[in-house]
Each structure stands twice: as structure tokens, then as C-alpha cells.
Chains A and B, each alone.
Chain A
Amino acid sequence: MTPPAVEARALTRRFGAFTAVDAITFDVAPGEVFGFLGANGAGKTTAMRMLTGLLAPTSGGARVAGFDVARAADQVKRSIGYMSQRFSLYEDLTVRENVGLYGRVYGLRGREIADRLARLLDRLGFAHLAGERVGRLPLGWKQKLALSVALLHEPRVVFLDEPTGGVDPVTRRQFWELIYEAAAGGTTVFVTTHYMDEAEYCDRVSIMVDGRIAALGTPAELTARFDVASMDELFVRLARPGPGAA
């Protein structure tokens, strides 16, 4: 049984009196596409920041790609890719320059970078844009580029925080094709989103409500268990506590 790509054990984060993430525990298997869902403010981003080493847990722990996030943060960082919610590539640098920078930052050498850049441009159909400043690209293309940069160094796990915000449906579909390709290649994809239809694309999902995991399983399992027609309905049911909430 291969070790999980991501393991969280009673992972907790408090800000003063407020508990943002309340002792969540789950596993993500290697090569899975794992959807990490929840309403705004439910604690998703906080949890993700702990898993990527950006935030220290108050208690509990997690391992990513086999490394402890608190004690071996450096190795964790070498093994993961990340795409933040706020678009984080340098807008005043060109496509080629951004790729070059992050390639070198992850320790790739000139030749490898050139190769991977070529492949990336080919796959995205960006070849004519290599010298274009990222700031000038339309939003959807920027997102695709950011994803490719996150995957550039072939990490074991890639974390995507609301990657498709504000993007049109066609581009979203292309985006998810990229995600599937990555997963097929063995990369574990950990994605947060609040588009419920995207939830259906994932292998397994978890839904966070008020800092806790309210549901965890494949979309099919969950819709059956909670007797709802779609993930959308499930989400609404869980995220708005009322009589009958789990």
C-alpha cells in the first residue's frame, strides 16, 4: 500500500479565540484528483496554507509527499507545486521569463527549462506568445499558464486554490483537461473550488463546514448517502446548517 500523497491528522489552526480549522483528518492517495470544497470562510484556504507550509498549524500535523509540513517544510516545498488564488506570476515579465525564473528556482538547468518550456507552449498553444508580457494575456490564458508553471518541475503533489475563478466555461473545461493529464502522469492534484460542477470532476471530494470536514468520499457515494440529486444540492444542504444537517 503506497503511502498517501497527503495526510492530515487532527490538523488544527486557531487565530486567537477563533478556530479556523478544527482537527481535520483525511488522506489523499497518489495520483488522485482530490476536491477540497467548502463555503467562503469555511477554512479551506487556511487548511491549504498549512499543507503548503505557508502557515504553521496550532496543533495536529500533516505530511505531504511523505514529509512533515512542520519539520521538513523545505523538502515539502521541493516536492509540491502551487497555484494561488490571487494570480501570482509576474505580470511585467514575459511568459518565457516567468517560466525561466521558476524553473531555475526549482533547480532546473537551462536545457531542461528550454525543453519543458517548448512542451508547455506547444500543449497550451502559446508558442506565439512566448515573448509576450503575462500582464497582457487574457485571464483564462494566465490561469492555464500558472497551472503549467506549477507543474513545470514535475512535483508529486500540486495544490490549486480556486484556479478557475472568473474564467469562462470553455476555458474551464480546457483547464480540467490539463488537470487530468497531470493526474494521469502520476501527479496528485489537490484543488479547492466553489464551483460544484467541478466537484463532479474529482475522484474524491471533501466538504468543509465551519472548520470541520462534514463529508468525505467520491461524488457518487456522497450524493447517494445524502440522497441528493447533485453535488450542488449537497453543498447547499451541508453549508447552510438547519434541521437535518449532518
Chain B
Amino acid sequence: MGAAPGARGEWLARTRARLGASLRVVLALARKEVVQIVRDRATLVQLVVIPVVQLLVLANAASFEVRGARVFVVDEAPSPASRALVARFAGSGYFRVVGWAPSAAPADEALLDRRASVILRVPRGFDEALAVGDGPARVQLVVDAEDGAAAAVVQAYAAQVLAAYGAGAAASKAGGAAAPAATPRIEVRARGWYNPALDYHVYMVPGILVSLVTIVGTLVAAQSIAREREIGTIEQLNVTPVGKYEFIAGKLLPFWLLAMAELAVGLAIAHLVFDVPVRGSLALVFGAAALYLVAALGVGLLVSTTAETQQQAQFVSFFVLVVYLLMSGLFTPVDSMPRWAQWLAELNPVKHFVGVMRAVLVKGAGAAEVARPVAVLAAYAAVVCTLAVRRYRKTTA
């Protein structure tokens, strides 16, 4: 009586007891979920086999690199210079010469037929222009830009080949003439950080990994609640003293653990098979992953509380998922999106997590550099889960 510590101690003890009881219930529910997953062959395959296989296969697919672009040469006035130019293209490793003609028509046909994706037209007078040196000699490139991304890349490659050719041609001409003094000369040195080999795996694999883990987590988790509702076992649980938080935690815990495990396996594959570097702290990656997965699962849960049937839950989850994935910077850069879309992307937990993964793994970023996205992930997780729990009601009406 009057001893405040005593009353507080009592309250603490009671809370601890209640939390302990809650935890036991959550663990019991989680255990049941795990048993169910393990026994359901189809789900197991989906959860384990498919993501791994897809990671291995698809990581190889993700690339914008173009090798051996097929070039059709239109050489209007063949000369040693033009032949040297074509030889440069052929020998560059980026291009493959598939045809040669003195006029444009066959080249056009080839482009339409998709036998070639680039036309290199060396106009009449190329040789003279080069010799005189009164301004640059011009050639024409027609690129099949049906695939805009590839087209840009092809253009960049062509520019490189031409620059090399030009340097070679000029050098052979400069010969003895000494460079006159006082000509401004800038020496451009270019360095690419983090991925000097320009390996697409480094960029794509973390992203693919995230998307696979997300798909698995969100879809399967969302579906599991809808399923219980449909079979009716949810009614039995609704009558028990199991609280909303306990029920949801019990549902999500196994999927969260599973997703984390998959992430770990995936990272191992990424590093060992695809040479994705691990330059930063793995603890940071997993910490962010923990938060991210709670958010992702929470979204799946939120969707399943709004859907009337399992089917609807799946469709809506799929829709949300695709939007999240395509707006996350996984396949195409966030920086390329219009301003308003970039703002929207701020609301996308996938975007933040992919960013953290790439920053920590590839750039070796530390906690300070990724503090902001991690904070966003934490906030997102909290909000989504609260919403989901609120919406999940044990009573109707």
C-alpha cells in the first residue's frame, strides 16, 4: 500500500505473464502453420523449389547487353577506307556483319525481316572527306529501335567503334607533324565504380532475389488466411480466446522465417554462382530484410482481409505485387521514372529494400548511408500491420 514500486512490480509481472501466454499461443499457431505447409506438397514446391530454380535461370536472362548485333552494310562507294571501317565493326565483338550491298533496298528488307538490326551506310565520298579532313566524315546508322533499350546500347557501341576508327585514321595522318604548342588538350579519364566489369548480374541478381522472395511471401501468406476462411477452420479459431494480434502473428511467423531462409540461400547462390559481391555488412542486409518482409507479408495480409474469396485475394495480391515490382527499380531504374512516379515509388517498400540491398552489397554502404530507406521500411511495416490487424475482425458487423 503506497509503495509505488510494489504496484508497478505487480503490473510488470502480470504483463510479463500475459505476454508469455500470448507467445505460447502464437508459437502453437505458428507450429500448426509450419506442419500444414510441410505436409502440402504443392505449397512446398512453390515455396522452395520454384524460387530457387527461377533465380538460377532468370538471373541469366536479365541483361541489356547486346552482343553480336547484326549489321547490314550499305557501301555506296567501296574504298580501302570504307572496308577498313567495316572491318572495325566486324572485329569489335559487338557487331556481326550479316550482309553487304551497294544500295539501300536490300538493307531495308533485312531490317523489316529482322535479319539485321542495324544498317551501316557509308555514303559516296566518305574516302575523300576523310582525306581532306575539313570537318568530320559522316556515315549513317539506321537502328531498329523497336526495342528502344537495345537501340540505345547499340548506338553507344557504334559510337565507340567509330571513335576508335577515327583515332586510328587521324594518328596515321598526323604522322610527323608535331602537335603545335598551346593547343588545349583535355585528357578524359573515366572510372566506373562498384561494377567496373559492367556485369549485369551484379545489378540484377539482388533485384531478382528480392522479387522472388516477395512473391513467395506475399502470395502464399495472403492465400493462407483466405483458405482458412473458406474451409471454416477460421470460425473455430474465432471462438477461442486467441486475440487478433496473436492469430496474425501466428500466421505470419512461419512465412517470415521461411522467406528469410530463402533470402539467405538466395544470397549464397548470388555470391557463389553469379559473383555478386558482398562488400557491406550482411547483418545490415538481414536487418533490413527482416523489416521488409514484415511489410511485404503485412501487405499480403491486408489484401486478404479485404477480399471476399481466396480467388479475389490472389488477384488483388497479384496486381499489387506487379505494381510494386515494376515500380521498384528492379527492372528499370527509378531515376528514369517521371517525377510523380518517383514520389509514388517512395511508398513502395520493394524499392527501398532493393535500394538497400544494392547499396550494401555492391557499394559497401554502411548503416548511415541506408538509414533513410531502412527507417521508411520500419514505418511501413508498422503501419501496414496495424491496418491489417484492425481490419481483421473476428466478428462480422
A residues sitting closer than 8 Å to B (CB atoms) are 52-56, 73-74, 77-78, 80, 82, 84, 86-90, 92-93, 97, 100-102, 104-107
* B interface SS class: helix
A54-B395, A54-B396, A86-B235 given; name 13 further pairs at CB < 8 Å.
Answer: A53-B239, A77-B240, A77-B241, A84-B235, A89-B236, A92-B35, A93-B36, A97-B32, A97-B35, A104-B25, A104-B27, A105-B29, A105-B240
The answer to whether A56 and B232 touch (CB under 8 A), given A92-B39, A104-B24, A106-B240, is no
CA distance A229 to B382 in the complex (A): 64
Chain B contact residues, CB within 8 Å of chain A: 21, 24-25, 27-29, 31-32, 35-36, 39-40, 231-233, 235-243, 394-397
Complex CA distance for A63 and B232, rounded to whole angstroms: 26
Shortest CB–CB separation between residue A21 and chain B, in angstroms?
13
CB distance from A105 to the nearest CB of B (A): 5
User: What is the bound-complex CA distance between A102 and B25, given in angstroms?
Assistant: 9
A89 near B28 with CB under 8 A, answer no
Q: Which residue of chain A has the shortest Cβ distance to B28 in the bound complex?
A: A104
A106 touches B241 (CB 8 A): yes
In-complex Cβ contact of B36 among A77, A90, A105 (8 A): A90
Question: B21, B39, B233, B239: which contacts A77 (Cβ < 8 A)?
Answer: B239
Known: A88-B233, A101-B29, A104-B28. A56 touches B239 (CB 8 A): no
CA distance A80 to B232 in the complex (A): 19
Picked from B36, B233, B240, the residue with its CB within 8 Å of the CB of A89 is B233
B241→A102 contact, CB < 8 A: no
Q: How far is the CB of A146 from chain B (nearest CB, A)?
A: 9
Q: Is the CB of B235 within 8 A of A88?
A: yes
CA separation between A165 and B240, bound complex, in Å?
23
Q: Is the CB of B28 within 8 A of A84?
A: no
Residues of B with C-beta under 8 A to A74 = 241, 243
Chain B residues closer than 8 Å to A78, beta-carbon distance: 241
Q: With A and B bound together, what is the CA distance between A80 and B239 in angstroms? A: 8
Q: Point out the residues of chain A lying under 8 angstroms from B236, CB to CB.
A: 82, 84, 88-89
How far in angstroms is the closest Cβ of chain A from B249? 13
The 28 listed contacts between A and B (C-beta, < 8 Å) are A52-B239, A53-B239, A73-B395, A74-B243, A77-B240, A82-B236, A82-B239, A84-B236, A84-B239, A86-B232, A86-B235, A87-B232, A88-B232, A90-B32, A90-B36, A90-B233, A92-B35, A92-B40, A101-B28, A101-B32, A102-B240, A104-B25, A104-B27, A105-B25, A105-B29, A107-B24, A107-B25, A107-B241
Contact check, A84 vs B39: say whether CB atoms are below 8 A apart.
Answer: no
Closest chain-B Cβ to A153's Cβ sits at a distance in Å of 9
Query: Please, which residues of chain B bring their CB within 8 A of the CB of A104?
Result: 24-25, 27-28
Contacts of A100 in B (CB 8 A): 28
Partner of B395, one of A55, A89, A97, A102: A55
- Please report the C-alpha to C-alpha distance between residue A54 and residue B240 in the assembled complex, in whole angstroms: 10
**Residue on A with the closest CB to B232?**
A86
Complexed CA–CA distance, A90 and B33 (Å): 10
**Chain A residues within 8 Å of B24, by CB:** 104, 107
Contacts of A53 in B (CB 8 A): 239, 394-395
Q: Which residues on B sit within 8 Å (CB–CB) of A52? A: 239
Name which residue of chain A comes closest to B250, CB basis.
A105
Q: How far is the CA of A86 from the CA of B237 in the complex (A)?
A: 13
Q: Is the CB of B28 within 8 A of A93?
A: no
Q: Which residue of B lies closest to A15 (CB)?
A: B397
- The answer to whether A105 and B241 have CB atoms under 8 Å apart is yes
Contact call A55/B396, Cβ cutoff below 8 A: yes
A168 CB to closest chain B CB (Å) equals 23
Taking a contact as CB atoms closer than 8 A, the residue among A80, A82, A93 that contacts B35 in the complex is A93
Q: Are B241 and A54 in contact (CB under 8 A)?
A: no
